[in-house]
A and B are shown apart, each in its own frame.
Chain A
Amino acid sequence: MSRNMLNGAQVIVDYLIQEKVPQVFGLCGHGNIQFIDALYERSSEIKTISVHHESVAGFMADVYYRVSGRPTATFTSCGPGSANLPISLANAYLDSVPFMAITGNVPTSQFNRGAFQEMYRHYQADFPSTVRTMCKKVFQPTRGEMVPLAVRQAWKTMVTGRPGPVVIDVPFDVFMEAAAEEAPKAAEWSANISSRCGADPEGVEKAVDMLLSAERPVMLVGQGVRYGGAADELRKLAERLQIPVAASASGLGALDVNHPLALGLVARAGHYQANHATRQADVLLALGVRFDDRTLELVDSRLFLHDPADAADPRRYRSRGDRPQLSRCARADGRRSHLPAPGACRARSPR
């Protein structure tokens, strides 16, 4: 390798430093010692935290983001080391929390040869199949020069739109191969991104019409309000229009629970005032909440839905023939109008 070229591992580490990742969490293995060596070189700029189980690394990266609003990264080896990670990846994925998982794999020269710790019997070096249901996207650069593209695409994928974890699965030799003279300039690839898209102006007018004509309105908030940095705007709206605020489990705290308009928690373990008010609301403004099966009894109200994080229709638990699977969301009485959801994008930018 020419002296002024960075290898694959160095490109990834440099990109993380450019993105101001203060530390990475992970666990060593023969499959990632070159990556750890690249961390060693830059140890004055990025800390390496070694844990005793790979899931722990993922959970730490996850909560690090939930508190700081900044994504970080994990490093794990090939085979079993990275196979300990998916629980935390899936957890972050379902809760829309980004982190970058750098997983090792066997050398490309050993693909399909059944090398030590290679998952090869279905497809070569097939960690991507292991995590395909558990992350936004998985990258597997198979030449050094593919690493710069992978790392900048992975970072952008992770933080834009609905955030979530990404995996860069790097074969052993690719960590060491010449990749580029310098890593991509992170600022040029990320600084220009804003995912804070607004709503259709006509939809906003309609929403305001509904809120102003409501007699029994309730706002139901989920984690999109907390992690989207919208708590101030929420409190101001609640106070301005005197609308009580109920919360899903992940939305609790978006409005101080001691606030007079805070109703507390909906769903099974929730407070009576939150559940019973939400059930009876004539207009329900749902913000950054995705209505899981434990929240569903609440959606019989005349519904204005904003910003569902997931499959947009909260009535989705109905089974075929429109017979409700869950009896509590059964009543589609014509008296109550269900407005279609304005949309299903819960975009937010990293803070």
Chain B
Amino acid sequence: MADVRTFLRQVHAELDRRDNLFKKSDARKKWLAQIDGYRKEWDKFVAPGFSDDTTPINPQRAAAEIDKALPEDAILVSDIGVHHNWLLGFCKPKRPDSLIGSMGFGPMGFGVAGVMGAKFAAPDRPCVSVCGDGAFFMHANVLGTAVEYNLPVVWVVWNNYAYASIRGLQRGYLGGRELATDFKHPETGQRYNPDFAAMARSCGVEGVRVDRAGDLGEAIRKGIAANKPYLIDVDIAADINPVGAGVWELPGLGQSKAGIGTRFQPG
């Protein structure tokens, strides 16, 4: 029972007293080499997504473009939804507070609003929220607060015109019986959402739309440099789901398949 930092310091102190720290060094080299093999397999597996140039934007490409555009000291606050999975998989957080998300309760709006709290805590660091269209529409009132207190935060609205993480479950576990998980115009049947960039501008927040992967990084750099409240509405492909290497079981509905590799079966 211990605080993590205290425990780690105790471990270091104990190691100071030990003589041979590398009695298993051969096995360790083998282990690290084995892991390096897994790393290469994964890199190869995901490589195509990074160069996909289609519109709407490939979500993996979007996550990577966002990550590349963020300066070293940026704070990225994720909302809840499928974008969170993509960010976790393809951003490369360098500091403990580089990528902030909610993993316990998972409420939509956490990142939409939380990014403003980040800005109060770190006024000199770029603060960017990546949030789904569902959560942003739910909490669009933040636009007013950012103006009233002149909070230079950037919202990147990951716009796939759906509650896409849940629609993914309908597709993955329920044979594609989709209901109540996307947004459509009643007459045309086309995908529907408000024009978020125009909504931002109506509030006095700079708002732009991006629909090509190659433009996303530049838009984010521009948004950060503007040093005022800024919204980037990004057209993201709705039909590509994150393919991770783990599984999630919804008891009663079964277990998702890992996208790569298999479960380890001990001999």
Q: Are A and B interaction partners?
A: yes
Q: How far is the CA of A99 from the CA of B91 in the complex (A)?
A: 28
With A63-B118, A269-B242, A271-B89 in contact, is A52–B141 under 8 Å at CB?
yes
A102 contacts B by Cβ under 8 Å: no
Which residue of chain A lies nearest to B258 when distances are taken between CB atoms in the complex? A275
Q: How far is the CA of A55 from the CA of B138 in the complex (A)?
A: 11
A230 touching B5, Cβ below 8 Å: yes
With A56-B139, A273-B39, A275-B261 in contact, is A307–B7 under 8 Å at CB?
yes
Residues of A contacting B148 with CB < 8 Å? 50
B5 touching A270, Cβ below 8 Å: no
A236 touching B4, Cβ below 8 Å: no
With A328-B247, A342-B2 in contact, is A280–B264 under 8 Å at CB?
yes
With A91-B102, A197-B1, A253-B95 in contact, is A60–B120 under 8 Å at CB?
yes
Residues of B contacting A234 with CB < 8 Å? 8
B11 touching A273, Cβ below 8 Å: no
B38 contacts A by Cβ under 8 Å: yes
B15 contacts A by Cβ under 8 Å: yes
Residues of B contacting A87 with CB < 8 Å? 105, 107, 109
With A91-B110, A276-B261 in contact, is A63–B251 under 8 Å at CB?
no
B-contact 0/1 string along A310-326, CB 8 Å cutoff: 00000000000000011
B39 to chain A, nearest CB (A): 4
A49 touching B2, Cβ below 8 Å: no
Which residue of chain A lies nearest to B99 when distances are taken between CB atoms in the complex? A253
B6 touching A59, Cβ below 8 Å: no
A343 contacts B by Cβ under 8 Å: yes
A-contact 0/1 string along B3-44, CB 8 Å cutoff: 111111111101100101101100110011011101101100
Partner of A253, one of B1, B93, B102, B255: B93
Which residue of chain B lies nearest to A252 when distances are taken between CB atoms in the complex? B93
Partner of A252, one of B24, B35, B99, B256: B99
Contacts of B140-155 to chain A: CB distance below 8 A: 141-142, 144-145, 148-149
B77 contacts A by Cβ under 8 Å: yes
B-contact 0/1 string along A277-307, CB 8 Å cutoff: 1011000000110001110010010000011
A130 contacts B by Cβ under 8 Å: no
Residues of A contacting B99 with CB < 8 Å? 252-253
Which residue of chain B lies nearest to A335 when distances are taken between CB atoms in the complex? B266
A241 contacts B by Cβ under 8 Å: yes
Q: How far is the CA of A257 from the CA of B35 in the complex (A)?
A: 15
A314 to chain B, nearest CB (A): 15
Residues of A contacting B266 with CB < 8 Å? 300, 331, 333, 335-336
A265 touching B88, Cβ below 8 Å: yes
Q: How far is the CA of A23 from the CA of B123 in the complex (A)?
A: 13
Contacts of B115-168 to chain A: CB distance below 8 A: 115-118, 120-122, 139, 141-142, 144-145, 148-149
B45 contacts A by Cβ under 8 Å: yes
B8 touching A287, Cβ below 8 Å: yes
B24 touching A212, Cβ below 8 Å: yes
Residues of A contacting B114 with CB < 8 Å? 59-60, 62-63, 66
A215 touching B245, Cβ below 8 Å: no
Please choose the segment from A4-12, A141-149, A183-191, A201-209 that sits at the chain B interface, where 4 or more of its residues have CB less than 8 A away: A201-209
B-contact 0/1 string along A79-112, CB 8 Å cutoff: 0000000011011011100000000000000000
Q: How far is the CA of A128 from the CA of B209 in the complex (A)?
A: 44
Partner of B248, one of A70, A240, A271, A294: A294
A266 contacts B by Cβ under 8 Å: yes
B107 touching A88, Cβ below 8 Å: yes
Q: How far is the CA of A265 from the CA of B23 in the complex (A)?
A: 29
A132 to chain B, nearest CB (A): 15
A-B contact pairs, 25 of them (CB 8 A): A60-B120, A64-B117, A88-B107, A90-B105, A91-B107, A93-B104, A196-B5, A198-B7, A199-B1, A227-B96, A244-B35, A248-B103, A264-B89, A267-B244, A268-B244, A272-B41, A273-B39, A275-B258, A277-B35, A279-B263, A280-B264, A307-B2, A326-B249, A344-B1, A348-B5
Interface residues of A (CB under 8 A from B): 22-23, 25, 49-53, 55-56, 59-68, 70, 87-88, 90-91, 93-95, 195-201, 204-205, 207-208, 211-217, 223-231, 233-234, 236-237, 240-242, 244, 248-250, 252-254, 256-258, 263-277, 279-280, 287-288, 292-294, 297, 300, 306-307, 325-328, 331, 333, 335-336, 342-349
